[in-house]
Structure 1
């Protein structure tokens, strides 16, 4: 008997969890970061029938999030009930889950948020003389009293995660959290373009939109002020689409400019995002993504939104059909706009990306930023193109060539000769030719070197820009007239985060009110580029690189270097080509570009002889 009692005492005991602990566990799914709180509270305001919503953020949400609306408000006897778990006015029985038209319905948001913050809410219905004020800290009611207030609801969330240090520790930098909040604010404003939104971030008004605005005007205001968008409109089967998408030249290197909504709800769907991009066909360069907002209306019985507490994931019963229909509607709208792909043939006076044309026009060389100070014309038609004692012969290999970026050697299944010596700044090179307007052919002793001129120049500029940033001494080219560029809120958040590094690299750019940035100078290596387009492209690059794990300084340097480097088809004089190779060999890592691609490959004479069966 005693032995049995001892065994039972060690048995795990099942018991209900306390309400406060339940709410904290739920908060882990509902409240991922400050942006999640903004989304949940704005959705509550919309469900309350508000047509004016104000979002106020301090210290990117870590200090304060405040949402003010003019909705129906809470009755005095309902305000405490609202903070009970799974208490909601949206549904009442099982069948309601099949026809959800509201944003919220789970009854988890308010108790979850209150359990990990200091919350104060004041709410007054329009037909009441005053409204109740309720204060909750860490899920515990602190006070409740009537207070004078305007109609509607005001809710303040202070010190989020103050009682869960582990969660607070994993919040990202203020500027990162601010970007997430800005993206949510923009999404909610586009989902309900009939509602007026005002968004303040860290004491600055980011945007203010009027009530009953047209969708196209709302999208343009938030995504690309002053730009032209293409309207998408159509109805096929259970799907109705209305939206506006950017022209093919309004692209980003990431998907953050894509907003997709189903029945007014902002959702994340890889399938629908793919349809959005696929609708452009071959109008987009590889690795670029369009911007825009697509509002999809789908029969309620075709959509399941009860997938995750965050309510950003959905299941569609006819996902493939919806994908194909959306892709076709986007493509048809672009085609009607006259944006079909066009093959353009360079005129006689234009620069073609072909080696033979460039060889016939050696004077039309370009200046290489960071390598040459001015163009050096070559007065001899073929000059010293072929200098070596004996010419080398090359042939296309039928096999895939792999390159070791730490040595520059070709990795092949064929037995190679002894490893070639290391390339250094003292290695002697002879330029023997060019191929496809991109590759430089050089000889060093018994080796043939094939150099990617873009990758090589990118490596040189990347290391140079990193040094400039470390020394805060970027070389700037002053613009004759300052340029102003309008950013969307998310881009503005990134500019504020990366502004000091951009200026250290050679930009002179500063906030100029609202979401406008004033550019007074650009890095000298970018002097030939349009400053406003370049800044926007660099910001988009940085977003993609940060998502890939790059730190901010290297992301800035990598983007500026890539945008500045010579491109395929840019003709280099012999002197410029040799200078490029000399500077490359002085780099800390000369054998790969910042993206990890090889800058050159090496082929020994003996390896060529083996390929041709000579030995």
Structure 2
């Protein structure tokens, strides 16, 4: 006899597909934080069954808190047309509902347009508390006693689950370098994509970089290492792409593919870890990039040491705005202002964290939460603990009192701004070539050479052979 399943049984079956493990639950919470336009995401894991995710995003309106834990409720999409061109991480409207079925789920949030926040506590799908509370802008979601009502799943949880949760956090940090991520004691400040890659991988293996139409590929054909694929910033698995990279001898890679939302279908499984391409555009662009680039040896991403098959990079000159250099295979066109800005930024940061920047007294002193203690220590600020938090009396002259007040939620911007102000402006012509050469050599020693502190690309390169072809010359 065929019968309709009771609603609670349907809910438990569906929820079990989404809240399949602590890492799967954490994934949903991180995605919610990113969809809320957070500039900082903080993950605290006490145990794989007790953890918290905090963000400084737009928050949840108080009246909508109970709705957030109902099934098939979302702020991401509202029509089939929007489902076919999804740009957010979440869209199924099932995550918080599913998590609340297997844990005690506490949500504290304040929407950016409201004066008061709210608190919602749900255990095994039943609302236990719903009340207004004073709260900062953003959301904190605490998962407690996960899988308390499904002991088999709790027992089956991997002993390496905490490591899996950290690795998952780092994957999303890699896909969102503009966001500051924290996992326990680890902090990854907002930065450029290349610097974020170094933060996450600690420089190993030594990646090379190639870019094409909607494709950014960091790779190594010498060393084994991470094999990460992101489609529209979402970590996914695409066997066809992985086989293509193996075909070209790639042992380690971090690949970013950007495709029009309507050409990608993420609605394949509840966990959204698989994707279907509706056209061959992405794979074709990757193949063309690999075929065009892997036929010739490539210089390392670390341009300061790029003395391989391309030879050393040599300065040609500057018109005051664009600095031109070359090696055996490429001509490079650098933005002179951005070169100087990058040099200033790294030298200022080095001095700041070494305590070599002059300190000034703050009048009046600034009081901040105790949670920013590590940041204050890093910049060598002078402060004292009080009942209200930490009272800062002196700080490096590069940092404004307003920035100190916002240390908990925002990265330092003053250093980048000062670096920009101190850089030569477009049109500035150095009196002597050796001055220009000195600046260029300082730039080549920078840790980050691809982008300025504000994220703009510093240079454009073109193959010499392309130029020769346009001039009707054979390769020299």
Cα distance in 1 for residues equivalent to 2:265 and 2:100? 28
Offset, 1:248: 2.9
Offset, 1:153: 0.1
Question: What are the residue-to-residue correspondences of 1:92-103 with 2, within 5 Å?
Answer: 92-103=78-89
2:22 aligned partner: 34
2:153 matches 1:164: no
2:181 aligned partner: 197
Offset, 1:323: 3.3
1:138 aligned partner: 124
Structure 1 spans left out of the alignment, 5+ residues: 1-10, 343-615
Offset, 1:151: 0.8
Offset, 1:330: 4.0
Q: 1:308 aligns with which of 233, 246, 269?
A: 269
Offset, 1:333: 4.3
Cα distance in 2 for residues equivalent to 1:107 and 1:191? 22
Cα distance in 1 for residues equivalent to 2:229 and 2:282? 13
Offset, 1:227: 5.8
Cα distance in 2 for residues equivalent to 1:275 and 1:169? 38
Offset, 1:181: 1.1
CA RMSD of aligned residues (A): 2.1
Offset, 1:331: 5.5
2:208 matches 1:230: yes
SS across alignment from 2:178: coil
Offset, 1:338: 5.4
2:178 matches 1:209: no
Offset, 1:336: 4.7
1:559 aligned partner: none
- Confirm or deny: 8 A CA contact 2:215 2:285 kept in the other structure: no
Question: Structure 1 residues 150, 270: CA separation in 2 closer, same or farther (over 3 Å shift)?
Answer: same
Q: How many correspondences in the alignment?
A: 300
Q: 1:258 aligns with which of 204, 227, 232?
A: 227
2:50 matches 1:54: no
Question: What are the residue-to-residue correspondences of 1:309-324 with 2, within 5 Å?
Answer: 309-319=270-280, 322-324=282-284
1:296 aligned partner: 257
- Confirm or deny: 8 A CA contact 1:261 1:267 kept in the other structure: yes
2:106 matches 1:120: yes
TM-score by length of 1: 0.47
Cα distance in 1 for residues equivalent to 2:36 and 2:241? 29
Q: 1:179 aligns with which of 163, 173, 178?
A: 163
1:24 aligned partner: 12
Q: 1:149 aligns with which of 135, 152, 156?
A: 135
2:54 matches 1:68: yes
Structure 2 spans left out of the alignment, 5+ residues: 301-307, 309-476
- Confirm or deny: 8 A CA contact 1:82 1:88 kept in the other structure: yes
Offset, 1:332: 4.3
1:45 aligned partner: 33
- Confirm or deny: 8 A CA contact 2:86 2:262 kept in the other structure: no
Offset, 1:171: 1.0
Offset, 1:25: 1.3
SS across alignment from 1:251: coil
Q: 1:326 aligns with which of 280, 286, 304?
A: 286
- Confirm or deny: 8 A CA contact 1:230 1:333 kept in the other structure: no
Cα distance in 2 for residues equivalent to 1:97 and 1:272? 24
Cα distance in 1 for residues equivalent to 2:241 and 2:105? 37
Cα distance in 2 for residues equivalent to 1:47 and 1:322? 24
- Confirm or deny: 8 A CA contact 1:275 1:324 kept in the other structure: no
SS across alignment from 1:309: coil
Q: Deviation per CA, 1:334-388, whole angstroms, max 9, x where unpaired?
A: 535159xx9xxxxxxxxxxxxxxxxxxxxxxxxxxxxxxxxxxxxxxxxxxxxxx
Question: Structure 1 residues 226, 312: CA separation in 2 closer, same or farther (over 3 Å shift)?
Answer: closer
- Confirm or deny: 8 A CA contact 1:88 1:106 kept in the other structure: yes
2:472 aligned partner: none
Offset, 1:165: 1.2
Point out the structure with max Rg over C-alpha. 1
